[in-house]
């Protein structure tokens, strides 16, 4: 089944995933593509509409990302956001200048609700709040455009040429702080672009099963099964598609949470799957001996995963495909075109150059995390698996800052278990979306039993999020933090100081490495 398509063209914006997620929330399929994508390829894909993302550059500099003016002659609606709005103005003959003062954060915005875009926005008033983040601004609009919104400091907070179906907003409608921003995106993709909302997990499940069955044919598939949400859903989908042609390999690299390897094995015991557990702790520790750089950790782990899978495939014999639970944020964060590599995911940017399989199949590659959960429910998975909080493929290896040792692993496993136990006791495990401990590489002086200590600092991290693309730190009760701190200090050796991470995403990521 072919879905209606919206293209999100990325110019290096920090919210590119969030824009795509908002479009998906409207029941419309979209993909994030680089601004370097050839116009002919875009034309061939026949998108129903196009959205330009923001970006950190100034459009009037020769070195800044740009795009051919042909994009505006494809006959489909275009919405420019922030840098994308300025780029539209710049290419079509308007003027973009540096503002006297930067406009950032929640901003009172005055709308012309007779405009096409804003007339399609439910609930919008003449004066609402938008989220601004810019230094440059559109000082004069191109011929054919009218200004449709302004702020006290920005004369062109929005503009449009409705005859050509070109729309631009200086603010970020994809961010929750913009009042009715999601409604603006809905009005653009559903009303202006004419999308009907055919993107559902029921449809995706049918399509993905059929596609996997056709691609794999009579071949054998080896799935990298971690026990997390993504790989569990991938296992269920592939099992439905190819049955006993699937073998699930659970590589216990030694970086799981305490007792987690045994828990994963038990969780899949009744599935009727070909399940193989490989205990490879010593192998991974050996490869990471002396490694402290986080990107090197991820790539080393990614390569070693592949080598273990290759070895297991030889034992099975004639395995054609390697399957992974890669999801869309993994792909985008690992680098898209000229976009910055936020972090190389071990199953994307961490893959080695040579992989001894006919092909890698990734049935979830186009899905965001909440879509994966919805698909899991569609496939009949239990809430225990579907609602499990995310755990990175490299595991505790990227929650230990600096070099990894068996001693550090043991310390972190014990401390992390206490944190998770107390979160559950406080009945906050369903309110906090992700929570874990990080063993930092910092040591500090402390006092225990009238004696001096010089031990590690442990950081606690807990966040709330709807999509894992942006996140806020969880406001955990002080009493809970006090209990966690007291237990860890008293029960876990080599830790004498506890800190709590109160950073949002962005500017931080949820994980520390």
3-state secondary structure of 497: strand
DSSP per residue, 84-104: HHHHHHHHTT-EEEEEEEEEE
32-68: pLDDT as tens digits:
999 999 999 999 999 999 999 999 899 999 999 999 9
Answer with the residue of higher pLDDT: 503 or 450: 503
Q: Select the more confidently predicted residue: 316 or 92.
A: 92
pLDDT of 98 over the 70 cut: yes
Rounded to the nearest 10 degrees, the angle between the axes of helix 369-378 and helix 229-242 is 40
Terminal-residue alpha carbon distance, the chain = 39
Q: Are 139 and 60 in contact (CB under 8 A)?
A: no
Query: Helix axis angle, 229-242 relative to 201-216, nearest 10°?
Result: 60
Percent of the chain whose predicted confidence (pLDDT) is above 90: 66
Q: What is the pLDDT of residues 456-483, one digit of tens each?
A: 999 999 999 876 777 899 999 999 999 9
Which structural domains are found in the chain, ordered by start?
5-192 (3.40.50.880), 201-386 (3.40.50.620), 405-500 (3.30.300.10)
User: Rounded to two decimals, what is the model's pTM?
Assistant: 0.67
88-114 exposure pattern, b = at least 16 Cβ within 10 A, e = fewer: bbbbbebebeeeeeebeeebebebbee
pLDDT tens column, 343-357: 444 444 444 455 567
Q: Which alpha helices (H) appear in 69-164, and where do they start and end?
A: 83-91, 116-119
Helix H segments across 367-456? 369-378, 383-386, 406-425
pLDDT (tens digit per residue) in 99-151 = 877 788 899 999 999 999 999 998 899 999 999 988 899 999 999 999 999 99
d(CA 398, CA 110): 46
Catalytically annotated residues: 82, 172, 174
C-alpha pair distances (Å), 76 with each of 80, 120, 182, 379: 13, 17, 20, 36
Q: Quick one: average pLDDT of 196-217?
A: 91
d(CA 140, CA 93): 9
- Per residue in 317-336, pLDDT (tens digit) is 888 898 988 888 777 765 55
């Amino acid at each position: 089944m072919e879905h209606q398509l919206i293209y999100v063209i990325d110019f290096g914006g920090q919210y590119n995933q969030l824009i795509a997620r908002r479009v998906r929330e409207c029941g419309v399929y979209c993909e994030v593509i680089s601004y370097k994508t050839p116009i002919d390829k875009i034309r061939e894909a026949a998108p129903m509409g196009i959205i330009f993302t923001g970006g950190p550059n100034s459009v009037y500099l020769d070195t800044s990302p740009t795009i051919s003016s042909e994009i505006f002659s494809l006959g489909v609606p275009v919405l420019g956001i922030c840098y994308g709005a300025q780029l539209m103005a710049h290419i079509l003959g308007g003027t973009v200048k540096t503002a006297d003062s930067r406009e950032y954060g929640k901003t009172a915005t005055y709308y012309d609700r007779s405009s096409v875009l804003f007339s399609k926005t439910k609930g919008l008033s003449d004066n609402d709040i938008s989220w601004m983040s810019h230094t440059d601004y559109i000082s004069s609009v191109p011929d054919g455009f009218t200004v449709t919104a302004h702020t006290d400091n920005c004369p062109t907070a929005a503009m449009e040429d409705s005859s050509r179906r070109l729309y631009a907003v200086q603010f970020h409608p994809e961010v929750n702080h913009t009042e009715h921003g999601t409604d603006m995106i809905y009005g653009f993709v559903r009303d202006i672009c004419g999308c009907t909302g055919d993107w559902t997990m029921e449809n995706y499940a049918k399509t993905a099963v059929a596609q996997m069955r056709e691609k794999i044919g009579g071949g054998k598939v080896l799935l990298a099964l971690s026990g997390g949400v993504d790989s569990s859903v991938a296992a269920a989908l592939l099992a439905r598609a190819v049955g006993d042609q699937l073998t699930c390999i659970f590589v216990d690299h030694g970086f799981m949470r305490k007792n987690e390897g045994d828990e994963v094995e038990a969780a899949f015991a009744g599935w009727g799957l070909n399940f193989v557990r490989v205990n490879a702790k010593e192998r991974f520790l050996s490869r990471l001996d002396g490694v402290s750089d986080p990107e090197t950790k991820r790539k080393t782990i990614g390569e070693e995963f592949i080598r273990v899978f290759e070895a297991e495939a030889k034992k099975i014999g004639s395995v054609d495909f390697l399957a992974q639970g890669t999801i869309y944020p993994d792909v985008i964060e690992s680098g898209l075109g000229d976009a910055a590599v936020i972090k190389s995911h071990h199953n994307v940017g961490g893959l080695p150059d040579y992989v001894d399989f006919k092909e890698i199949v990734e049935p979830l590659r186009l899905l965001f995390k909440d879509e994966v959960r919805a698909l899991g429910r569609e496939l009949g998975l239990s809430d225990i698996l579907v609602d499990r909080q995310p755990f990175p493929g490299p595991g505790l290896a990227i929650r230990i800052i600096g070099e990894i040792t068996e001693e550090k692993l043991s310390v972190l496993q014990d401390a992390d278990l206490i944190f998770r136990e107390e979160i559950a006791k406080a009945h906050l495990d369903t309110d906090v979306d992700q929570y874990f401990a990080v063993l930092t590489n910092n040591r500090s002086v402390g006092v225990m039993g009238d004696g001096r200590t010089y031990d590690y600092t442990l950081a606690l991290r807990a966040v709330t999020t709807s999509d894992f693309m942006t996140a806020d730190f969880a406001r955990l009760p002080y009493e809970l933090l006090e209990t966690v701190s007291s237990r860890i200090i008293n029960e876990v050796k080599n830790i004498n100081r506890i800190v709590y991470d109160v950073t949002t995403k962005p500017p931080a990521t949820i994980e520390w490495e």
